[in-house]
Structure 1
Amino acid sequence: MSKSYLQITSDVTKALGTLRKEIPQTMQGFSSMAQSALKDGALSELQKELISLAIAVTQRCDACIGFHIKALIRLGATREQIMETLGVCTYMGGGPALMYAADAVRAYEQLLPKDE
Protein backbone atom coordinates (compact mmCIF):
# COMPACT_ATOMS: atom_id res chain seq x y z
CA MET A 1 0.00 0.00 0.00
CA SER A 2 1.48 3.30 -1.10
CA LYS A 3 0.83 6.55 0.72
CA SER A 4 -0.14 9.64 -1.24
CA TYR A 5 1.08 12.71 0.58
CA LEU A 6 -1.03 14.85 -1.75
CA GLN A 7 -4.09 12.94 -0.51
CA ILE A 8 -2.97 12.87 3.14
CA THR A 9 -2.39 16.63 3.30
CA SER A 10 -5.61 17.33 1.40
CA ASP A 11 -7.68 15.10 3.71
CA VAL A 12 -6.13 16.53 6.87
CA THR A 13 -6.58 20.11 5.60
CA LYS A 14 -10.31 19.43 5.23
CA ALA A 15 -10.51 17.93 8.71
CA LEU A 16 -8.62 20.89 10.15
CA GLY A 17 -11.25 23.15 8.58
CA THR A 18 -13.87 21.35 10.64
CA LEU A 19 -11.80 21.85 13.78
CA ARG A 20 -11.41 25.58 12.97
CA LYS A 21 -15.20 25.86 12.86
CA GLU A 22 -15.93 23.79 15.95
CA ILE A 23 -13.03 24.74 18.25
CA PRO A 24 -11.89 28.10 16.84
CA GLN A 25 -10.11 29.34 19.96
CA THR A 26 -8.02 26.20 20.25
CA MET A 27 -7.11 26.34 16.57
CA GLN A 28 -6.28 30.06 16.75
CA GLY A 29 -4.06 29.38 19.75
CA PHE A 30 -2.26 26.55 17.94
CA SER A 31 -1.83 28.69 14.83
CA SER A 32 -0.44 31.58 16.87
CA MET A 33 2.00 29.24 18.62
CA ALA A 34 3.15 27.78 15.29
CA GLN A 35 3.68 31.21 13.73
CA SER A 36 5.64 32.42 16.74
CA ALA A 37 7.75 29.27 16.99
CA LEU A 38 8.65 29.23 13.29
CA LYS A 39 9.47 32.89 12.67
CA ASP A 40 13.05 33.86 11.99
CA GLY A 41 15.16 34.44 15.08
CA ALA A 42 18.48 32.94 16.15
CA LEU A 43 17.44 30.08 13.86
CA SER A 44 15.98 30.76 10.43
CA GLU A 45 12.49 29.62 9.48
CA LEU A 46 14.15 27.09 7.16
CA GLN A 47 16.22 25.63 10.00
CA LYS A 48 13.14 25.43 12.20
CA GLU A 49 11.20 23.61 9.47
CA LEU A 50 14.06 21.11 9.12
CA ILE A 51 13.82 20.50 12.87
CA SER A 52 10.05 20.14 12.51
CA LEU A 53 10.52 17.56 9.76
CA ALA A 54 12.93 15.64 12.00
CA ILE A 55 10.37 15.56 14.78
CA ALA A 56 7.60 14.55 12.35
CA VAL A 57 9.70 11.63 11.11
CA THR A 58 10.69 10.41 14.55
CA GLN A 59 7.12 10.76 15.83
CA ARG A 60 5.82 8.93 12.73
CA CYS A 61 3.26 11.58 11.79
CA ASP A 62 2.34 11.24 8.11
CA ALA A 63 0.42 14.50 7.89
CA CYS A 64 3.19 16.37 9.72
CA ILE A 65 5.75 15.02 7.26
CA GLY A 66 3.61 16.21 4.36
CA PHE A 67 2.98 19.68 5.75
CA HIS A 68 6.61 20.27 6.75
CA ILE A 69 7.89 19.01 3.39
CA LYS A 70 5.50 21.48 1.71
CA ALA A 71 6.87 24.28 3.90
CA LEU A 72 10.45 23.27 3.15
CA ILE A 73 9.76 23.29 -0.59
CA ARG A 74 8.18 26.76 -0.22
CA LEU A 75 11.25 27.97 1.67
CA GLY A 76 13.61 26.64 -1.00
CA ALA A 77 15.16 23.80 0.99
CA THR A 78 17.44 21.69 -1.13
CA ARG A 79 17.16 17.96 -1.47
CA GLU A 80 20.58 17.74 0.21
CA GLN A 81 19.35 19.69 3.27
CA ILE A 82 16.35 17.40 3.56
CA MET A 83 18.47 14.27 3.13
CA GLU A 84 20.97 15.38 5.81
CA THR A 85 18.09 16.05 8.18
CA LEU A 86 16.74 12.57 7.49
CA GLY A 87 20.20 11.15 8.17
CA VAL A 88 20.17 12.73 11.63
CA CYS A 89 16.65 11.31 12.18
CA THR A 90 17.89 7.85 11.34
CA TYR A 91 20.88 8.20 13.64
CA MET A 92 18.73 9.39 16.55
CA GLY A 93 15.65 7.23 15.90
CA GLY A 94 17.06 3.96 14.57
CA GLY A 95 15.13 1.62 12.28
CA PRO A 96 11.64 3.09 12.76
CA ALA A 97 12.98 6.56 11.94
CA LEU A 98 14.67 5.13 8.83
CA MET A 99 11.31 3.82 7.57
CA TYR A 100 9.69 7.24 8.06
CA ALA A 101 12.74 8.96 6.54
CA ALA A 102 12.01 6.90 3.42
CA ASP A 103 8.40 8.13 3.62
CA ALA A 104 9.63 11.72 3.86
CA VAL A 105 11.56 11.20 0.61
CA ARG A 106 8.34 9.98 -1.02
CA ALA A 107 6.50 13.01 0.32
CA TYR A 108 9.18 15.32 -1.09
CA GLU A 109 9.01 13.64 -4.50
CA GLN A 110 5.20 13.64 -4.57
CA LEU A 111 4.77 17.23 -3.39
CA LEU A 112 7.57 18.92 -5.34
CA PRO A 113 5.98 20.96 -8.16
CA LYS A 114 6.38 19.19 -11.48
CA ASP A 115 7.89 21.06 -14.40
CA GLU A 116 5.28 21.31 -17.07
Structure 2
Amino acid sequence: MSQVQEFNDYRAKMNEKILAEDNKVLKRFFNLDTNAYQEGALSSKTKELLGLVASMVLRCDDCIRYHLGKCHEQGVTKAEVFEVFAIANLVGGSICIPHTRRAVEYWEALEEA
Protein backbone atom coordinates (compact mmCIF):
# COMPACT_ATOMS: atom_id res chain seq x y z
CA MET A 1 0.00 0.00 0.00
CA SER A 2 1.33 3.42 -0.90
CA GLN A 3 2.23 6.04 1.67
CA VAL A 4 -0.57 8.25 0.33
CA GLN A 5 -3.23 5.51 0.47
CA GLU A 6 -2.13 4.46 3.96
CA PHE A 7 -2.41 8.04 5.25
CA ASN A 8 -5.80 8.64 3.62
CA ASP A 9 -7.23 5.32 4.82
CA TYR A 10 -6.08 5.90 8.41
CA ARG A 11 -7.38 9.47 8.42
CA ALA A 12 -10.79 8.43 7.08
CA LYS A 13 -11.07 5.54 9.55
CA MET A 14 -10.19 7.66 12.56
CA ASN A 15 -12.37 10.61 11.50
CA GLU A 16 -15.29 8.19 11.19
CA LYS A 17 -14.67 6.94 14.74
CA ILE A 18 -14.40 10.47 16.10
CA LEU A 19 -17.55 11.70 14.39
CA ALA A 20 -19.48 8.54 15.39
CA GLU A 21 -19.27 9.64 19.01
CA ASP A 22 -21.76 12.41 18.24
CA ASN A 23 -19.83 15.05 20.19
CA LYS A 24 -21.33 18.39 19.18
CA VAL A 25 -18.16 20.41 19.78
CA LEU A 26 -15.97 18.06 17.71
CA LYS A 27 -18.55 17.89 14.90
CA ARG A 28 -18.77 21.67 14.80
CA PHE A 29 -15.00 22.01 14.80
CA PHE A 30 -14.65 19.54 11.92
CA ASN A 31 -17.39 21.42 10.03
CA LEU A 32 -15.71 24.77 10.67
CA ASP A 33 -12.43 23.38 9.35
CA THR A 34 -14.14 22.05 6.21
CA ASN A 35 -16.00 25.29 5.55
CA ALA A 36 -12.96 27.51 6.14
CA TYR A 37 -11.24 26.06 3.05
CA GLN A 38 -14.17 26.67 0.69
CA GLU A 39 -13.99 29.33 -2.03
CA GLY A 40 -14.39 32.85 -0.67
CA ALA A 41 -12.50 36.10 -0.93
CA LEU A 42 -9.47 33.81 -1.22
CA SER A 43 -9.50 30.83 -3.54
CA SER A 44 -9.52 27.40 -1.93
CA LYS A 45 -6.11 26.81 -3.58
CA THR A 46 -4.69 29.85 -1.77
CA LYS A 47 -6.25 28.68 1.49
CA GLU A 48 -4.67 25.23 1.11
CA LEU A 49 -1.27 26.85 0.49
CA LEU A 50 -1.79 28.93 3.63
CA GLY A 51 -2.80 25.82 5.54
CA LEU A 52 0.35 24.09 4.31
CA VAL A 53 2.69 26.87 5.41
CA ALA A 54 0.98 27.13 8.81
CA SER A 55 1.18 23.36 9.28
CA MET A 56 4.89 23.39 8.47
CA VAL A 57 5.59 26.22 10.90
CA LEU A 58 3.54 24.40 13.56
CA ARG A 59 5.44 21.19 12.68
CA CYS A 60 2.42 18.92 12.23
CA ASP A 61 3.36 16.15 9.78
CA ASP A 62 -0.24 14.85 9.52
CA CYS A 63 -1.46 18.36 8.70
CA ILE A 64 1.35 18.82 6.19
CA ARG A 65 0.39 15.59 4.43
CA TYR A 66 -3.28 16.54 4.42
CA HIS A 67 -2.63 19.98 2.91
CA LEU A 68 -0.13 18.57 0.40
CA GLY A 69 -2.83 16.16 -0.75
CA LYS A 70 -5.35 18.97 -1.09
CA CYS A 71 -2.79 21.14 -2.91
CA HIS A 72 -2.09 18.27 -5.30
CA GLU A 73 -5.84 17.92 -5.96
CA GLN A 74 -6.02 21.68 -6.64
CA GLY A 75 -3.30 21.46 -9.29
CA VAL A 76 -0.56 23.16 -7.27
CA THR A 77 2.78 22.77 -9.03
CA LYS A 78 6.02 21.48 -7.57
CA ALA A 79 7.50 24.97 -7.95
CA GLU A 80 4.61 26.46 -5.95
CA VAL A 81 5.03 23.85 -3.22
CA PHE A 82 8.73 24.60 -2.96
CA GLU A 83 8.00 28.32 -2.58
CA VAL A 84 5.70 27.42 0.31
CA PHE A 85 8.50 25.30 1.79
CA ALA A 86 10.84 28.29 1.49
CA ILE A 87 8.41 30.63 3.27
CA ALA A 88 7.74 28.05 5.99
CA ASN A 89 11.46 27.62 6.65
CA LEU A 90 12.00 31.37 6.62
CA VAL A 91 9.20 31.95 9.13
CA GLY A 92 9.62 28.79 11.18
CA GLY A 93 13.39 28.50 11.17
CA SER A 94 15.66 25.50 10.80
CA ILE A 95 13.37 23.39 13.03
CA CYS A 96 11.17 23.08 9.90
CA ILE A 97 13.90 21.36 7.86
CA PRO A 98 13.04 17.79 8.98
CA HIS A 99 9.37 18.48 8.18
CA THR A 100 10.40 19.80 4.77
CA ARG A 101 12.26 16.55 4.10
CA ARG A 102 9.18 14.50 4.94
CA ALA A 103 6.99 16.91 2.95
CA VAL A 104 9.16 16.48 -0.14
CA GLU A 105 8.97 12.70 0.27
CA TYR A 106 5.17 12.86 0.54
CA TRP A 107 4.86 15.25 -2.45
CA GLU A 108 6.88 12.78 -4.51
CA ALA A 109 4.51 10.00 -3.43
CA LEU A 110 1.55 12.15 -4.51
CA GLU A 111 3.16 12.76 -7.89
CA GLU A 112 3.74 9.00 -8.34
CA ALA A 113 0.13 8.11 -7.44
TM-score range for the pair, normalised by the shorter chain length: 0.7 to 0.9
**Structure 2 unaligned spans of 5+:** none
Contact kept in structure 2, 1:58 and 1:93, CA below 8 Å: yes
Task: State how 1:84-103 maps to structure 2 within 5 Å.
Answer: 84-103=83-102
How far apart are the structure 2 equivalents of 1:95 and 1:5?
Answer: 26
Q: How many residues end up aligned between the 2 structures?
A: 111
Q: Runs ≥4 in structure 1, deviation > 3 angstroms?
A: none
Q: TM-score, normalised by structure 2?
A: 0.85
1:15 partnered with 2:14: yes
Q: Provide the rounded CA distance (Å) in 1 between the counterparts of 2:98 and 2:57.
A: 10
TM-score (norm 1): 0.83
| Residues 24 and 113 (structure 1), Cα distance of their counterparts in 2 relative to 1, 3 Å cut | farther
Paired AA for residue 74 in structure 1: E
- Whole-Å separation in 2 of the counterparts to 1:59 and 1:8: 19
- Note the C-alpha offset of 1:30: 2.0
Contact 1:46-1:72 at 8 Å conserved across structures: yes
Instruction: Pick which of 27-36 and 4-13 moved more.
Output: 4-13
- Amino acid paired to 1:107: Y
RMSD: 1.8
Name the CA shift for 1:63/1:6 in 2 (closer, same or farther; >3 Å). Answer: farther
Asked if the contact 1:57/1:97 (under 8 Å) is kept, the reply is yes
* Residue 10 of structure 1, CA deviation: 2.7
What's the counterpart of residue 79 of structure 2?
80
Does structure 2 conserve the Cα–Cα contact (< 8 Å) formed by 1:12 and 1:63?
no
